Amino acid sequence: MARNRVIYQSEALYVSENIDSTTAAKHKQLERVQSANYNFSINRQDVNEFGQLARVDSIIMDAPTVGLDFSYYLTDGVNEQALGFYVKHGSNDEGQFASGHMVSSSGKNFYIATVDEGTDATTVGGNGVKSIIGIGNAFLSDYTLDLSIGSLPTVSVSMECANINSTVDASISGDAEEFSGVSSPAVDMTDGSPLTAPVILPDANTGVSAVVALRPGDVTVNISALDGRTISDIASTTTEDSVHIQSASLSVPLGRSPLQRLGTRFSFARTVDFPVNATLSVSAIMNEVTAANLATIINDQTESDVSLTIKDPVDGVTDRMVYTLKGCKIDSESFSSSIGSNKTVDLTFSTQIGGLGDANNGVFVTASNATAPFGS
């Protein structure tokens, strides 16, 4: 019987370690996913000539543009590690959060598995998978963390990709742990030829994260290091004398340029456009004004660190995720006051992503999850 519709219940989103990954151990299901959107567009050039009104042909000039956007609730860093971000845990060395996406590589593959209508993807084995959408050679273009009153901390990710395909149930087979027969969506970036090795994916599950979701009440935004370089009083974000932060948004954009050459239909690389500026936007209810002068502020060349700390929702003590922006400066401060509303202040800070060995500039993340996302 034909399916009536597809809803979130029947889908699961996977990411591969590399584009040539084929085994189940080299693929990880992303946890707490809230949305997944994908699309493609084809650029054509019409060929016309004298003597005929309609075009003779419409030729594809460039490789198709494939896009993937998805969002998920922030937990303990398990998704970030699976997506290739560098996350410090335990005694590991600190490193640039986006370092895994700053070097030239072939990207990652994503898969969206769909099971029978009315069935939870997490309760059926591989035999229940009916179709797979594969998105190949995906490169990160943006990572955004949104924190606000009344909403669970949410991450939005955007990817630029090279190819998309689909596999139907006629070729998919599975058991209680995995399913196989999935066509790889990846292509060889040098000549555009598809990778033909079949892929095996693990069955969907509810995840391995130590927390279900983080709460806005467990978030601490520490921007006190920039006190004296703003007009509003942000001497401490944890006392009654500080501004009352309502929302914060951290964005790490990695704009990319496709590099092309004669003789191939696909770009042979998608390199990051440097410099990369990470921004932190904070909105708060205003209560006090601190002594400051814009003429003095613009002469202040001091760079400081700001941090976002999210603690465990159960014990309220364990740090589950800590984002630190090093080498940060304030870019703007905007005040708003009107009848019937609280006076608010909006602040924007920025830092520039440093090199792989730069420990003083960029975004650094520490997470409590210490389990490697991919096995051997």
As a whole number of angstroms, the distance between CA 134 and CA 339 comes to 52
* Beta strand ranges found along 149-275 (DSSP E): 151-161, 163-168, 173-174, 178-182, 199-202, 219-222, 244-253, 256-259, 269-272
Number of other residues whose CB lies within 10 A of the CB of residue 17: 18
User: Given this model, what pLDDT does residue 227 score?
Assistant: 62
As a whole number of angstroms, the distance between CA 117 and CA 3 comes to 6
State the span(s) of the chain assigned CATH 2.30.110.
8-40+60-75+106-202, 216-367
Q: Are 60 and 42 in contact (CB under 8 A)?
A: yes
Q: Are 136 and 43 in contact (CB under 8 A)?
A: no
Which residues lie closer than 8 Å to 336 by C-beta, 6 or more apart? 343, 344, 345, 346
As a whole number of angstroms, the distance between CA 280 and CA 235 comes to 18
Distances from the Cα of 157 to the Cαs of 43, 79, 83, 233, 271, in angstroms?
Answer: 24, 11, 10, 33, 18
Q: Are 24 and 134 in contact (CB under 8 A)?
A: no
- Give pLDDT tens digits for 185-213: 998 877 778 898 999 999 999 888 889 99
DSSP 8-state symbol, 73: E
Q: Mean pLDDT per 10-residue run, the chain (376 residues)?
A: 85 95 95 96 92 93 89 96 92 88 86 92 84 95 96 96 88 82 89 87 89 92 70 52 82 90 78 93 78 48 84 92 93 90 89 91 94 82
Report, in angstroms and rounded to the nearest whole number, the Rg of the chain calculated over CA atoms: 24
Number of other residues whose CB lies within 10 A of the CB of residue 128: 21
Using CA atoms of 49, 51, 57, 58 in order, give the dihedral in degrees to the nearest 10.
50
60: three-class secondary structure by DSSP: strand
DSSP 8-state symbol, 126: G
In this prediction the pTM is 0.91
User: Given this model, what pLDDT does residue 293 score?
Assistant: 43
Q: What is the CATH number of domain 8-40+60-75+106-202?
A: 2.30.110
Q: Which overall architecture, per CATH, does domain 216-367 show?
A: Roll (2.30)
Structure tokens at 125: 């084995």
User: Given this model, what pLDDT does residue 298 score?
Assistant: 52
Q: Are 342 and 286 in contact (CB under 8 A)?
A: yes
As a whole number of angstroms, the distance between CA 201 and CA 150 comes to 36
Number of other residues whose CB lies within 10 A of the CB of residue 299: 8
Greatest distance between any 2 Cα atoms in the chain: 79
Structure tokens at 259: 């590099």
Closest CA to 155 of 167, 142, 170, 168: 142
- Give pLDDT tens digits for 252-309: 999 888 888 877 777 778 889 999 999 999 998 877 665 444 444 455 666 788 999 9
261: three-class secondary structure by DSSP: coil
95 Rama class: left (phi>0) / alpha (psi -120 to 50) / beta: beta
Structure tokens at 43: 């650029």
Phi and psi at residue 224, in whole multiples of 5°? Answer: -65, -25
343: three-class secondary structure by DSSP: coil
User: Given this model, what pLDDT does residue 303 score?
Assistant: 75
